Chain A
Amino acid sequence: QSALTQPASVSGSLGQSISISCTGTSSDIGSYNFVSWYQQHPGKAPKLMIYEDSKRPSGVFNRFFGSKSGNTASLTISGLQAEDEADYYCCSYAGSGIWVFGGGTTLTVL
């Protein structure tokens, strides 16, 4: 049950686009279409942003885009806004009822 690998931090300017990678293995990301992404502001509970690799729950802006290739998933945020500044976590099903999270990425909007 090893954590997925995310960059510790990314940054981008207002209006720009950024991507956050999430690398797993053939036992988790590579085996299932169950990657999800969560946004967490300081002192708040996480919020679901993407599920099943690339689907957006209702109410999540279409500036958030999820994708996956092989054992790596990515979250792309376009048209960066100040309120996007937060921690982002990826999560994947790993089989046998087990889920694994990434270590988290802090997004700074410049």
Chain B
Amino acid sequence: EVRLVESGGGLVQPGGSLRLSCAASGFTFSGYSMTWVRQAPGKGLEWISYISSTSSPIHYADSVEGRFTISRDNVRNSLYVQMNSLREEDTAVYYCVRESAYGFDYWGQGALVTVSS
């Protein structure tokens, strides 16, 4: 069974940093590209970052470019996003998502990040 489990969410002040992790299991993690998608409270989905199976290439949405860094560890079967210079508008549930030839086919349960003073 494919499982994606996010961790590391929480409350952080504006300008602060947070690192989300995603533990993957049930599939060959090193064979898949991965993506982070977020959803602000009561709002729609927003694609924010992509990393290929080999960690290159990497892509970011304009809204997080320069502040967020995606990475992965294919030995630990884990995906990460380092979020710096956080803003109130970054408040959202962050989903770890597997990308396959079929689209974004598996999603984690999400990790809530709240940016507030």
Which residues of A line the B interface, CB within 8 A?
1, 3, 34, 36, 38, 40, 45-48, 51-52, 55, 57, 89, 91, 96-104
Contact = CB atoms under 8 A, between A and B. Distances in A.
Given A89-B45, A98-B47, A103-B44, A52 B103 contact: yes
Given A45-B107, A46-B107, A51-B103, A101 B44 contact: yes
B57 interface: yes
B62 interface: yes
A91 B107 CA distance: 15
B59 A89 contact: no
Q: How large is the interface on B (under 10, 10 to 19, 20 to 34, 35 or more residues)?
A: 20 to 34
Contacts of B104: 36, 38, 46, 48, 91
B1 interface: no
A45 B63 CA distance: 22
B50 interface: yes
A40 B97 CA distance: 14
Contacts of B57: 97
Contact of A57 (B45, B102, B107): B102
